[in-house]
Structure 1
């Protein structure tokens, strides 16, 4: 199984539905195909960053006949490439944020640091909401949060 197939199989239902809706919106004639150029627009609309050369290469690979159109499966194979990339980038950013607060490298941070991170991410949160979120994460009441708990909270996985 190549990595592209593996990525498509790990795509969750939410991502799949989102791609299906985006594809349908741009497949105005309901032909089951969209123009290759529209993939760029869809990725932009969904807020995914991509390298133009990389995207062009993927589009060419999926449009072997050179008709300038992609069916839904081909579109998914291109789009999933960038969905996965975002997850990796986000994980790296979260790891960096965690490391900033885990200066000694213990693998956990105090809940007071977590409160700072959450408040910085969303300045609309009230102190009560922050307490609630922290209580949910720090289920054992240890006053600390390890990286896995932190990741789970931030990504919902």
Structure 2
């Protein structure tokens, strides 16, 4: 497998080299004849073995989109395209859980919001190079109603872009 092919997979899927490497290992394990393709069932098995939650109907839909000719055979690039959907959804779910946990920690009184002063503290911890002006601009942007507080949805939107 050439570096160019791996680079194009990374570019088109947004997966990092570790993730692509893991997919390639699984792919190679099922492509015993070296035909360069695997089946849809193999794709499901590889993803499950990697601990990625896969809904059968969802993978069938994703597979059908990349298998335009309906051959039922998937190259590594096609497999990575399908896998990327499930891998990034997984990451997003995990990130939401981590954000909920962080929000709970900073919402010390359990009121369902954090103050903009607490948000400034968080932002300073994340990036110590931010100036007071930077912080004020960020606060102005995320605290649209000027209430001086952020609920979880506003906090999540800011953190996830």
Is the counterpart of residue 67 in structure 1 residue 79 in structure 2?
no
1:93 is matched with: 97
Q: What is the aligned length?
A: 108
In 1, Cα distance between equivalents of 2:49 and 2:10 = 25
Give the 3 Å change call, closer, same or farther, for CA 7–54 of structure 1 in structure 2: farther
Contact 2:13 2:84 in 1 (8 A): no
Q: Is the 8 A contact 2:10 2:16 kept in 1?
A: no
Give the conservation status (yes or no) of the 8 Å contact 1:43–1:79.
yes
8 Å contact from structure 2 (residues 40, 74) kept in 1: yes
Which TM-score applies when normalising by structure 1? Answer: 0.61
1:56 to 55, 60, 69: 60
Equivalent position to 2:32, from 28, 35, 39: 28
Name stretches of at least 5 consecutive residues in structure 2 with no aligned partner.
1-8, 109-113, 129-161
**Deviations along 1:28-47, whole A, 9 cap, x unmatched?**
11110001111110111011
- Gaps (5+ residues) in structure 1? 110-136, 141-157
TM-score by length of 2: 0.60
Higher-Rg structure is 2
Contact 1:22 1:42 in 2 (8 A): yes
SS across alignment from 2:101 = helix
* Distance verdict in 2 for CA 1:70–1:52, change over 3 Å: same
- Runs ≥4 residues deviating over 2 A: 5-10
